[in-house]
Amino acid sequence: MPHNILQFKHKEDLVSDLELPEWSAESIDHAPFAVIRRAPFKENLVPVGIRGKERNQRFASYLPIDKIKTCISPLRLAKEKAWNKNIRIDAIKALSVLPALDGIISAYGMPWGPTGSIGFELATGMPAAKETSDLDAIVCLPQELPRKKAKRLAEELNALPVPVDVQIMTPFGGVALMEYARGDKPLIMKTNNGPKFVEDPWSEK
């Protein structure tokens, strides 16, 4: 699933037609992890992205399935309340708000998890978030979310002291909760084959 974080051993495990950027060697030495990205899967190859220290340091690659050591999902991070083990929770605002975010989304009975720099830091134990980081998250909803319920959830999230960007993950892709709650149509859905416009995120049409 997109946003899952995969651990591997060596930079040589990665498969790409392009040469790895210089910054990637140090990044992989410190944290040999990659994030599953939205792209078509190739035979026995998972599309992944490598993160560097800076926001503009991102590299798209592939990781062979047999080179994956561990898979950590955002949902697992939330279920295990991984933020309780993070020593920077009081220093980074986006980390400190996670218990409140957990309380809000869990009250709706929605499976959820942190993504982006916050999720990466919780999964790897390596500092990735900055003091100015927003909070990215996903909620996994195989069934349609009533618009009124989405609007109520969005209002609660907007009251948090950190901007929260939640993606609704449906069986067909991901859409922004805030756009769905506003009633925007069409919606932009992120899929493995690229973004597309949809009227109903829970329809294959």
Our answer to whether residue 134 is catalytic in this structure is yes
Of the residues 136, 165, 184, 200, only one is catalytic, namely: 136
Length of the chain: 205
Question: Per the residue annotation, which of 17, 66, 134, 165 is the catalytic one?
Answer: 134
CB crowding 136-170: b at 16 or more within 10 Å, else e:
bbbbbbeeebeeeebbebbebbeeeebebebbbbb
Here the tokens at position 33 are 């992890």
Strand pairing partners for 196?
Answer: 189
Six-digit token string for 83 = 């933020």
Task: Determine the number of helices (DSSP H) and then strands (DSSP E) in the chain.
Answer: 7, 11
For the chain, what percentages of helix, strand and coil (3-state, to nearest 5) are there?
30, 30, 40
180: its two tokens: 């769905």
Query: What secondary structure does DSSP assign to 86-102, as a single string?
Result: -TTTTT-HHHHTHHHHH
Cis peptide before 186 (omega within 30 of 0): yes
**What is the rounded distance in angstroms from the CA atom of residue 138 to the CA atom of residue 46?**
20
What residues are annotated to the active site?
A: 134, 136
